[in-house]
């Protein structure tokens, strides 16, 4: 939280690794998995791994650029619509224009990059509020998906591709596609945590003015984040189409809120300036695990949204409430100190 | 989030009052609405038939009432994304009320809907103010929670399928001089809230909170109480909209109102309420809501493919934000010049 002004002792790297906010999210995930394995019948097994992870893939992909964007203090609500537009383009180019599937993929990614660049220009160059802009492009990109593909659904994609998208590695139950996702996650982790560009994003989230004074190119950084967000979202759209072997105008609809929920649950502050990739990955998996185990326990799908919502609210209230408690304890301590000093 | 440019307020000379109406943000939205209606009417004369006007007004009513509530919240620099779910819950709740008490007097139905909505709004308001967390996140969470409760409650059940009870269903089609009662009610609500926001102390407080929350607090405004009040008002108005929805449409179930939140926020932004608080009017938001609903009808009347509708709504939102930006830059420049002269 950016408003705590306590004199906190800087943590060593080791203690941060095991006791930081990121670590807490991972512990929570491990605890949930253990509890689910004990109490939910049929949870422990390779089928769980494959079902759980394959549904996590699109959210996990889109959560990566989203985490970076929220760390800079902005937001991108248009990710699911960008994915939907790229899915629609994929369907039309493949089915109606008979493009080679490789060129179809390239075209989809380019569409996503252009969507991201459009957001980026409006937000960084013109300086419009990202919340309002991306609500607008959420409607615009979804609308363009409707224009492109209309009421049709394209389902005749090459069978070996669609089976590959849902295949798993050997007997482990881990989806093959997860390898690509892991590479994306690692790349984003390295960018955020180990490059000057990534570290600058935190500075940006704390204070834009201060960041530009120390020489960070605020607008350029933001622009490229949105371009990345568009590209990755388009990629998630491609995966979505292959996984469900169908491209429609409402592909990936409504997923933006799950993505934002997962990122915030993963410990990224909505005020910007803090959070980490490990926590975000754990956040995505927590949401998926809780949902999946409750599904196995027999709760209907539709009711599960209560769980997602509660997790989201709790994850933002908890740090804020603990910060408040700590602040009041601090105030009490300083008051007694003053009292002692004046008495002496 | 990016800082919105501070809303510029300057003292106009008395003679410019009329001129000011024409450059106001509300007027530009109204002008856009007028152009849209005239163009559509010229191309397709059936657009403004008695029935066409009635449909237009009825369709706008629900969005106008919700937009007024949302505007109050957005002016305080918050946002309520859970309105679609609140509408769903109150509409379904109305059905449940009729199922339990088939002969309940209609005023009680409205009262129950409004109070139910107000309670849901109060939940939002209290969490937001007590936890000190952005409303965007909290109401995103309650969007899910309220929707989940609605799903659990409704299952696959649907109310009002046969437009029963007839007395309740007929309310939405009754008119006064060709104008639906519902639309007149919405107009009264807009006027009441416009006067309240313009002249009441607590209404002005909402603008102060939205412009600079810390300054408002230092000034002695009870920020938390006012913000909770705005959320309660938004919930109550959405609850009212839910009852009207139940009267107008004959299938109310688990997914009623899904996705309304973005359309409502869009209407409010198009109507000139700054997304980061402190400026804009309830009237503008209401006109924005009418503009968005009219757009849907107009596109159908103009024979534009229905597939283009949503894309055009998106363009409209972005155009509105761009316009706000340009206007605020111009006002800021004008202010600089006039202040320099005063020295």
Q: Which domain holds residue A147?
A: 13-303
pLDDT(A19) > 70: no
Collapsing DSSP to helix, strand or coil, B54 comes out as: helix
Best of A142, A298, A302 to disrupt the B interface by mutation (most B CBs within 10 Å)?
A302
| Residue A138 near residue B314 (C-beta atoms within 8 A) | yes
Pick B148's closest partner by Cβ from A133, A304, A321: A304
Confirm whether A2 is domain-assigned: no
Chain A residues lying within 8 Å of B4, measured CB to CB:
129
For A127, the closest chain B residue by CA position comes to B2
Pick B137's closest partner by Cβ from A142, A270, A324: A270
B137 versus B119: the higher-pLDDT residue is B119
Q: What is the DSSP string of B180-246?
A: EHHHHHHHHHHHHHHHHHHH-HHHHHHHHHHH-HHHHHHTT--HHHHHHHHHHHHHHHHHHHHHHHH
Nearest-angstrom CA–CA distance, A63 and A281: 8
| pLDDT for A4 | 47
Number of structural domains found in chain A: 1
CB proximity list for A62: less than 8 A, separation 6 or greater: A79, A80, A83, A229, A232, A233, A236, A255, A256, A259
Confidence grade of residue B166 (pLDDT, cut at 50, 70, 90): confident
- Backbone region of residue B163 per phi and psi (left: phi > 0; alpha: psi in -120 to 50; beta: other values): left
Question: From the CA of B66, how many Å to the nearest CA of chain A?
Answer: 18
CB-side exposure of B222: number of CA atoms within 13 Å?
7
| Residue B50 near residue B180 (C-beta atoms within 8 A) | no
pLDDT(A133) > 50: yes
Residue A1 touches chain B, beta carbons under 8 Å? no
Average pLDDT over residues B122-145: 87
Average pLDDT over residues B197-223: 89
| pLDDT for A213 | 87
| Residue A134 near residue B1 (C-beta atoms within 8 A) | no
Nearest-angstrom CA–CA distance, B93 and B2: 39
Check which CATH number belongs to the domain holding A173 and give it.
1.10.3470
pLDDT, one tens digit per residue, over A233-292 is 999 999 999 999 888 888 888 788 789 888 988 888 888 888 889 999 999 999 888 888
Q: Is the ipTM of this complex over 0.95?
A: no
| pLDDT for B6 | 52
Average pLDDT over residues A72-99: 92
Tokens describing residue A18 = 């095991």
Question: From the CA of A13, how many Å to the nearest CA of chain B?
Answer: 29
| Residue B133 near residue A317 (C-beta atoms within 8 A) | yes
pLDDT, one tens digit per residue, over B6-39 is 555 554 455 566 666 666 778 888 888 898 888 8
**Smallest Cα–Cα separation from B259: which of A342, A189, A80?**
A80
pLDDT, one tens digit per residue, over B316-326 is 888 888 887 88
pLDDT(B117) > 90: yes
Confirm whether A236 is domain-assigned: yes
For A73, the closest chain B residue by CA position comes to B1
Distance of CA B236 to the CA centre of its chain: 12
Give the H or E element holding residue B75.
helix B50-75
B238 versus B53: the higher-pLDDT residue is B238
pLDDT(A22) > 90: no
Question: From the CA of B152, how many Å to the nearest CA of chain A?
Answer: 5
| pLDDT for B277 | 81
- Backbone region of residue A272 per phi and psi (left: phi > 0; alpha: psi in -120 to 50; beta: other values): left
| Residue B29 near residue B272 (C-beta atoms within 8 A) | yes
- C-beta atoms surrounding A201 within 10 Å: 27
Asked, as a colleague might, if the bond just before A189 is cis with ω within 30 of 0, I would say no
| pLDDT for A208 | 84
Q: Which of residues 114-143 of B touch A (CB under 8 A)?
A: 127, 131-134, 136-138, 140-143
B188 versus A299: the higher-pLDDT residue is B188
Confidence grade of residue A3 (pLDDT, cut at 50, 70, 90): very low
Confirm whether A207 is domain-assigned: yes
pLDDT(A158) > 60: yes
Tokens describing residue A102 = 């490789």
Contact A312 B276 (CB under 8 A): no
Question: From the CA of B250, how many Å to the nearest CA of chain A?
Answer: 22
pLDDT, one tens digit per residue, over A110-122 is 999 999 999 999 9
Percent of chain A beyond pLDDT 70?
Answer: 94
CB-side exposure of A80: number of CA atoms within 13 Å?
16
pLDDT, one tens digit per residue, over B238-294 is 999 999 998 888 788 888 888 788 889 889 988 888 888 888 899 999 999 999 888
Give the H or E element holding residue B176.
strand B175-176
Confirm whether A315 is domain-assigned: no
| pLDDT for B164 | 66
Average pLDDT over residues B193-218: 90
pLDDT, one tens digit per residue, over B283-310 is 999 999 999 888 888 887 887 777 887 8
| pLDDT for A333 | 83
Q: Which of residues 204-233 of A touch B (CB under 8 A)?
A: 208
The mean predicted confidence, pLDDT, of chain A is: 86
Nearest-angstrom CA–CA distance, B271 and B279: 11
Collapsing DSSP to helix, strand or coil, A168 comes out as: strand
């Amino acid at each position: 939280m950016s408003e705590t002004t306590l004199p906190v002792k800087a943590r060593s790297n080791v203690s941060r690794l095991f006791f930081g906010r990121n670590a807490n999210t991972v512990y929570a995930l491990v605890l949930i998995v253990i509890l689910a394995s004990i109490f939910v019948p049929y949870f422990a097994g390779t089928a769980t791994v494959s079902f759980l992870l394959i549904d996590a893939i699109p959210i996990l992909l889109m959560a990566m650029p989203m985490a970076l964007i929220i760390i800079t203090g902005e937001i991108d609500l248009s990710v699911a619509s960008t994915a939907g537009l790229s899915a629609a383009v994929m369907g039309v180019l493949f089915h109606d224009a008979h493009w080679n599937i490789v060129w179809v993929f390239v075209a989809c990614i380019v569409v996503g990059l252009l969507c991201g660049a459009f957001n980026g220009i409006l937000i960084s160059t013109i300086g419009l509020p990202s919340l309002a802009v991306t609500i607008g492009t959420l409607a615009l990109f979804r609308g363009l998906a409707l224009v492109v593909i209309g009421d049709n659904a394209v389902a005749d994609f090459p069978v070996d591709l669609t089976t590959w998208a849902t295949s798993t590695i050997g007997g482990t139950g881990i989806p093959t596609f997860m390898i690509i996702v892991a590479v994306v996650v690692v790349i984003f982790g390295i960018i955020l945590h180990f490059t000057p560009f990534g570290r600058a994003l935190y500075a940006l989230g704390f204070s834009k003015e201060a960041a530009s004074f120390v020489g960070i190119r605020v607008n350029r950084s933001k622009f490229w984040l949105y371009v990345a967000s568009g590209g990755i979202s388009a990629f998630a759209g491609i995966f979505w189409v292959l996984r469900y072997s169908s491209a429609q105008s409402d592909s990936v609809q409504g997923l933006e809120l799950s993505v934002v929920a997962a990122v915030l649950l993963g410990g990224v502050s909505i005020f910007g300036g803090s959070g980490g990739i490990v926590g975000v990955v754990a956040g995505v998996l927590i949401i998926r695990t809780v949902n999946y185990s409750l599904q196995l326990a027999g709760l209907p799908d539709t009711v599960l949204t209560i769980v997602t919502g509660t997790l989201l609210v709790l994850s933002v209230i908890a740090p804020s409430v603990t910060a408040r408690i700590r602040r009041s304890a601090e105030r009490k301590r300083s008051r007694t100190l003053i009292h002692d000093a004046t008495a002496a | 989030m990016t800082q919105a440019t501070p809303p510029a307020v300057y003292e106009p000379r008395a003679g410019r009052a009329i001129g000011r109406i024409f450059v106001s943000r509300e007027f530009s939205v109204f002008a856009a609405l007028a152009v849209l209606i005239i163009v559509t009417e010229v191309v397709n004369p059936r657009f403004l038939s008695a029935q066409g006007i009635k449909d237009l007004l009825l369709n706008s009513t629900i969005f106008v009432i919700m937009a007024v509530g949302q505007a109050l919240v957005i002016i305080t620099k918050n946002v309520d994304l859970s309105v679609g779910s609140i509408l769903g819950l109150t509409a379904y709740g109305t059905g449940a009320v009729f199922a339990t008490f088939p002969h309940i007097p209609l005023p009680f139905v409205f009262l129950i809907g409004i109070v139910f909505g107000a309670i849901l709004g109060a939940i939002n308001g209290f969490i937001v103010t007590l936890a000190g967390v952005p409303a965007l996140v909290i109401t995103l969470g309650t969007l899910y929670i309220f929707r989940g409760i609605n799903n659990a409650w409704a299952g696959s059940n649907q109310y009002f399928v046969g437009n029963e009870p007839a007395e309740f269903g007929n309310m939405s089609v009754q008119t006064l001089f060709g104008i639906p009662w519902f639309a007149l009610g919405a107009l009264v609500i807009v006027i009441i809230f416009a006067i309240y926001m313009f002249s009441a102390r607590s209404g002005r407080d909402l603008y102060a909170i939205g412009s600079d929350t810390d300054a408002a607090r230092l000034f002695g405004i009870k920020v938390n109480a006012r913000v909770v009040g705005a959320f309660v008002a938004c919930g109550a108005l959405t609850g009212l909209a839910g009852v009207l929805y139940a009267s107008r449409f004959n299938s109310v179930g688990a997914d009623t109102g899904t996705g309304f939140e973005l359309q409502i926020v869009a209407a409010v932004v198009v109507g000139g309420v700054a997304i980061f608080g402190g400026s804009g009017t309830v009237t503008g938001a209401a006109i924005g809501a009418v503009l968005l609903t009219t757009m849907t009808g107009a596109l159908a009347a103009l024979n534009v493919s229905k597939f283009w509708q949503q894309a055009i709504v998106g363009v409209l939102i972005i155009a509105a934000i761009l316009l706000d930006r340009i206007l605020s830059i111009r006002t800021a420049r004008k202010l600089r010049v006039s202040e320099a002269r005063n020295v």
